[in-house]
């Protein structure tokens, strides 16, 4: 399984929690320097807590599971 596939699988675990609040997350890309780009969708795209969800939720989970991930950004 490639790193991208592993990241997409991890996002699949996170996704139901976001969908429960009317949002979602979509994987966009992984750069060579370990930056994962995602797109927050639905309620997450306009939520005032989106940055906290991105950093404390999505980024923390991905960095814990995959040490190659250095940062998660929303595009």
Q: What residue ranges in the chain does DSSP mark as E strands?
A: 23-30, 35-42, 71-74
Domains of the chain: 3-74 (3.30.300.130)
10 Å CB burial of residue 11 (0-12, 13-18, 19+) is buried
- How far is it, in rounded angstroms, from Cα 18 to Cα 75? 17
Mean pLDDT by 10 residues, the chain (75 residues): 89 92 94 95 87 90 90 94
Indicate the burial class of 53 (C-beta count within 10 angstroms; 0-12, 13-18, 19 or more). buried
């Amino acid at each position: 399984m490639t790193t991208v596939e592993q990241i997409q699988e991890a996002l699949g675990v996170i996704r139901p929690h976001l969908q429960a609040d009317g949002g979602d997350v979509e994987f966009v890309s992984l750069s060579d320097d370990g930056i994962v780009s995602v797109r927050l969708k639905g309620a997450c795209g306009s939520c005032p807590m989106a940055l906290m969800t991105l950093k404390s939720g999505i980024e923390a989970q991905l960095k814990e599971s995959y040490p190659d991930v250095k940062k998660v950004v929303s595009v």
